[in-house]
């Protein structure tokens, strides 16, 4: 479509064009029901069909084993920063966190409101340019869990593989890389992700939780903030975000048609490979922010020689139809977010622009 931007937004982010068109076709009248999906009861058979199919698709695409619940919650991943400690921290236990950047830090700060926390490893001294090695992680005996941020959206770092925590439940914030590659859910006690990067629009948060962790929180927790409330009711305790779940359904069908997690992973590797090659082959004109071994396949962060030049890059790219390349205000620089739905051609167009910009300004 001629007027679609090269969308590199960090989230909410690009959705597959086919999905948007499908939603448009079904927007006013949904599958012979005489109304929009947004106008019907969440207790009716039509919506329930969408709800259940979305859960089934997630189970299939993420290969979720028996013994795990898949939940659709609200409040964004930011609410999970609180729900995890509220539900899982018990007196005498400590929430352990790996401090990898901006989002991990937010999760830690929130957990401090509810109990004792510890930083099991940190790359703060290296400006969060890297993911700590497994050997750096010091897990206390009384850890209730170890929390990792799978992909730091702002710094552009990503865990290549997750640490083995033995019997201590591993908790993962997968907001910015869920379903970018196959996942071994059984390594985790709980994973969560806001939908608005790889799964759909904002408004729904996916939680996958091992059933033995649902249990009973140690202290009083509001009904809506207990995992048990939503696990017992198949995420239909109250009105769910029906439209966001429906859009997620369409995105998951699209991922399935791309060959599932392994299919999108191949394209993601290719897209990230092209951008990192453009950075590394620029004779230092572009400098990658993340250390090589910790580079994200979802958020490619880079800097130029001066902030002035970075501003010029952002401005000129915007004028040529590229959107969202300015880095997050907290770290500056530039960032290309290349989630599943960003087409390979758009990455090629960006690589061409980068080459051209470097020739004109190098």
Q: Residue 227, interface with ligand PMP (CB under 6 A)?
A: no
Is 159 catalytic? The answer is no
Residue pair 229/210 in contact by the 8 Å Cβ criterion: no
Residue 173 marked as a ligand binder: yes
Q: How far is the CB of 188 from ligand PMP (least distance, A)?
A: 15
Distance between CA atoms of residues 11 and 61, nearest Å: 21
User: Whose Cβ is closer to ligand PMP: residue 55's or residue 173's?
Assistant: 173
Is 197 catalytic? The answer is yes
Helix 45-61 vs helix 260-280: crossing angle, to nearest 10: 60
Stretch that binds ligand PMP, among 31-39, 73-81, 133-141, 236-244 (CB under 6 A): 73-81
Q: Which two tokens stand for residue 199?
A: 């799964």
Q: Residue 74, interface with ligand PMP (CB under 6 A)?
A: no
Q: How far is the CB of 329 from ligand PMP (least distance, A)?
A: 13
Q: How many residues bind ligand PMP (CB under 6 A)?
A: 11
User: Whose Cβ is closer to ligand PMP: residue 93's or residue 295's?
Assistant: 295
Q: How far is the CB of 43 from ligand PMP (least distance, A)?
A: 26
Residue 302: beta bridge partners? Answer: 288, 334
Residue 196 marked as a ligand binder: yes
Residue 79 marked as a ligand binder: no
CA atoms within 13 A on the CB side of 359: 6
List 173, 177, 271, 326, catalytic entry: 173
The residues, any chain, with a CB within 8 Å of residue 132's CB and separated by 6 or more, are: 98, 100, 121, 122, 123
Contacts (CB under 6 A) with ligand PMP, residues 241-260: none
User: Whose Cβ is closer to ligand PMP: residue 131's or residue 278's?
Assistant: 131
**H helices within the chain, ranges in order?**
17-26, 45-61, 76-88, 102-111, 227-232, 242-257, 260-280, 307-319, 344-361
Q: Residue 294, interface with ligand PMP (CB under 6 A)?
A: no
Q: Residue 105, interface with ligand PMP (CB under 6 A)?
A: no
Show the binding pattern over residues 129-168: x = contacts ligand PMP (CB under 6 A), - = does not: --------------------x---x---------------
Is 126 catalytic? The answer is no
Residue pair 334/301 in contact by the 8 Å Cβ criterion: yes
Q: Report helix, strand or coil for 323.
A: strand
Q: Residue 11, interface with ligand PMP (CB under 6 A)?
A: yes
Q: Dihedrals φ, ψ of 215, to 5°? A: 25, -145
Q: How far is the CB of 251 from ligand PMP (least distance, A)?
A: 16
Q: Residue 176, interface with ligand PMP (CB under 6 A)?
A: yes
Q: Residue 14, interface with ligand PMP (CB under 6 A)?
A: no
Q: Which two tokens stand for residue 39?
A: 């106008």
Distance between CA atoms of residues 181 and 190, nearest Å: 17
Residue pair 205/79 in contact by the 8 Å Cβ criterion: yes
Summarize as ranges the residues that interact with ligand PMP (CB under 6 A): 11, 76-78, 103, 149, 153, 173, 175-176, 194
Q: What residues are labeled active site?
A: 103, 173, 197
């Amino acid at each position: 479509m001629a007027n679609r931007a090269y969308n590199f937004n960090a989230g909410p982010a690009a959705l597959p064009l086919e999905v948007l068109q499908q939603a448009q076709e079904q927007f006013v009248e949904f599958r012979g029901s005489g109304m929009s999906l947004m106008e019907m009861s969440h207790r009716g058979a039509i919506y329930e069909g969408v709800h259940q199919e979305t859960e089934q698709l997630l189970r299939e695409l993420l290969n979720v084993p028996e013994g795990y619940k898949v939940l659709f919650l609200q409040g964004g991943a930011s609410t999970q920063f609180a729900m995890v400690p509220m539900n899982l921290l018990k007196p005498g236990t400590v929430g352990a966190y790996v401090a990898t950047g901006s989002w991990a830090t937010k999760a830690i700060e929130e957990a401090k409101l509810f109990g004792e926390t510890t930083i099991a490893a940190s790359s703060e001294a290296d400006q969060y340019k890297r993911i700590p090695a497994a050997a750096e992680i010091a897990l206390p005996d009384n850890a209730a869990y170890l929390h990792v941020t799978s992909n730091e959206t702002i710094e552009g770092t990503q865990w290549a593989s997750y640490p083995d925590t033995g019997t201590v439940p591993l908790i993962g914030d997968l907001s910015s890389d869920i379903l970018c590659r196959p996942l071994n859910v059984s390594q985790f006690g709980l994973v969560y992700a806001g939908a608005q990067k790889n799964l759909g629009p904002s408004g729904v948060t996916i939680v996958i939780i091992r059933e033995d962790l649902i249990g009973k929180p140690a202290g009083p927790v509001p009904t809506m903030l207990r995992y048990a409330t939503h696990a017992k009711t198949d995420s239909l305790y109250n009105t769910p975000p029906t439209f966001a779940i429906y859009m997620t359904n369409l995105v998951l069908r699209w991922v399935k048609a791309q060959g599932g997690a392994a299919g999108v992973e191949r394209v993601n590797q290719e897209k990230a490979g092209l951008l990192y090659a453009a950075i590394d082959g620029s004779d230092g004109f572009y400098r990658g922010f993340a250390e090589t071994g910790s580079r994200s396949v979802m958020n490619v962060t880079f800097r130029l020689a001066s902030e002035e030049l970075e501003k010029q890059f952002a401005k000129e790219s915007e004028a040529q139809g590229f959107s969202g390349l300015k880095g997050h205000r907290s770290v500056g620089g530039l960032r290309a977010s290349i989630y599943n739905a960003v087409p390979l051609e758009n990455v090629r167009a960006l690589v061409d622009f980068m080459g051209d910009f470097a020739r004109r300004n190098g």
